[in-house]
Amino acid sequence: MNQLRLSPGQILVGRYEIIKFHAAGGMQEVYYAYDHTLDRHIAVKTPKAGVKDRRFRRGAEMGARVNHPNIAATLDYFEDDSFTFMVEEFISGRDLGDRLANEFLFLDPYLAAHVSHHIAKALYEAHKVGICHRDLKPSNIMTSIDASMVSIKLTDFGIAKLAEAEILAEMELFAEDESTLLSSNTLLGAVPYMAPECWDDWKRAGMPMDVWALGCVIYHLLAGVPPFGTGRMAIKNVTLYQVGKYSITQPGWFGKHPDTSELERNIWELLISCLAIEPENRPSAEDVMKYFNSFTYATGARRVGKVTRYPIKYPNGGTATAGFIAEEGVYEDTFFHVSNFYGDAAPSVGQKVCFSSYPGVPSPRSAPILVLR
């Protein structure tokens, strides 16, 4: 790791005490800190050495214009001749990219609708006041650490403004030397969610690029991978998609669950509309939010457990396509039927799953059941 700009115990402007380094991205360092004035923990973000602070300030001003539960709040900003930092609400959780890479193989329709709906609400609030995020991707979406992902917050409007300049510069270099793509974490992370018009004229690309990115994120939630792949392959596939030579296919588990067939169809139609080639043919963020408002989906609390029995074997030698899940610390196992099981293969004993549970006789019932990594 490169030399960090701030140290534990350091106090900024007589108020913000740095507790520890928290994370770093392509453009910023993030610190967990304490606000002595208002007695609260906050996030301090500072641009990495070499990043132009002028853009950081504009980004902070943009973030401060949006106030919504699904957007990380910008609380303060400071700059002088030698140093710049932004203070944001500290979100105790993990980013969506990390969870997709390390916890979830994909999300079932209920959980995917929940997450996507809240992202759409955040985008709508930003677009309503004239702000385009311009770098929407799973790593810029924070979730609470629970299996239900109750809290969803879109972050880094300010850093997206910084990333915009770096991405533009890297795209210009990429036109001359394709190896640039693999040397830029900022560009590499943005490419799988980048609308086709961005490659033609990044500066003129507007709010429809956020809607395209949202469509890509929704697909990623359902399939476990971005719709066009990553790196150079994503650029190639988007190009082929523009001329009708690349198709976005539904996840293999689609159509196998009667309870969610209508929801699957609705989400699929919406994400495909977000991925319209021409920006003017995409729905607005407000449209997307309203579509999700009209969908019916369950938001029951999720638990984490393991499959302990499957299939159930009867004394007469028969079997049932059903089984049981044990949750750590809970005495009674939970019954499930395979029609509510979301995985690439049949359930197997020992599989880690998340599930919703409700009362039943003789055992509690669970649905849906989603395989975890």
The beta-strand segments (E) located in the chain are 11-12, 16-24, 28-35, 40-47, 74-79, 84-89, 94-95, 141-143, 152-154, 303-309, 312-313, 319-320, 322-327, 334-337, 341-342, 352-358, 365-371
Report the distance separating Cα 172 and Cα 187, nearest Å: 11
Same domain, 253 and 332: no
Which domain, by its residues, includes 346?
303-371
Report the distance separating Cα 282 and Cα 279, nearest Å: 6
* Whether 268 contacts 250, CB under 8 Å: yes
CATH code where residue 317 lies = 2.40.50.140
Helices 261-274 and 207-223, interaxial angle, to 10°? 140
Task: Please give the C-alpha separations between residue 344 and each of 42, 94, 175, 347, in angstroms, as whole numbers.
Answer: 40, 25, 39, 9
Instruction: Identify any residues that bridge with 18 across adjacent strands, giving them in sequence order.
Output: 33
Pairing of strands 365-371, 341-342: parallel
Same domain, 149 and 276: yes
- 0.85 surpassed by pTM: yes
The predicted structure's pLDDT at residue 156: 78
How many other CB atoms are there within 10 angstroms of residue 7's CB atom? 10
First to last CA, the chain: 28
Check whether the bond before 347 is cis (ω within 30° of 0).
no
Same domain, 112 and 81: no
Same domain, 26 and 137: no
Same domain, 217 and 331: no
The predicted structure's pLDDT at residue 162: 47
* Whether 67 contacts 73, CB under 8 Å: yes
Determine, yes or no, domain membership for 24: yes
- Give the residue from 245, 262, 294 where a domain finishes: 294
Q: Which two tokens stand for residue 93?
A: 């959780």
Report the distance separating Cα 158 and Cα 164, nearest Å: 10
Same domain, 267 and 138: yes
State the total domains in the chain.
Answer: 3
Q: Which two tokens stand for residue 14?
A: 């007589």
Same domain, 275 and 235: yes
User: pLDDT digit of tens for each residue in the chain (373 aa)?
Assistant: 568 899 999 999 999 999 999 988 767 899 999 999 999 999 999 988 766 556 677 777 877 888 999 999 999 999 988 889 999 999 989 999 999 999 999 999 999 999 999 999 999 999 998 888 888 999 999 999 999 999 999 987 755 554 555 565 556 555 555 555 554 555 556 889 999 998 888 778 889 999 999 999 999 999 999 999 998 899 999 999 999 999 999 999 999 999 999 999 999 999 999 999 999 999 999 999 999 999 999 999 999 999 999 999 988 889 999 999 999 889 899 999 999 999 999 999 999 999 999 999 999 999 999 999 9
Q: Which two tokens stand for residue 300?
A: 């029951």
Same domain, 270 and 125: yes
Report the distance separating Cα 187 and Cα 173, nearest Å: 11
Q: What are phi and psi of 83, to 5 degrees?
A: -155, 150
Determine, yes or no, domain membership for 6: no
Same domain, 84 and 101: no
Determine, yes or no, domain membership for 63: yes
The predicted structure's pLDDT at residue 82: 81
Report the distance separating Cα 62 and Cα 64, nearest Å: 5
Q: Which two tokens stand for residue 304?
A: 């984490």
Annotate 93-104 with b (16+ C-beta within 10 A) or e (fewer).
bebbbebbeeeb
Determine, yes or no, domain membership for 2: no
The CA-CA-CA angle for residues 313, 319, 322, to 5°, reads 85
- Give the residue from 269, 294, 319 where a domain finishes: 294
Report the distance separating Cα 232 and Cα 236, nearest Å: 6
Same domain, 253 and 268: yes
Same domain, 104 and 205: yes
CATH code where residue 75 lies = 3.30.200.20
Determine, yes or no, domain membership for 4: no
CATH code where residue 248 lies = 1.10.510.10
Same domain, 77 and 107: no
- Give the residue from 89, 105, 131 where a domain finishes: 89
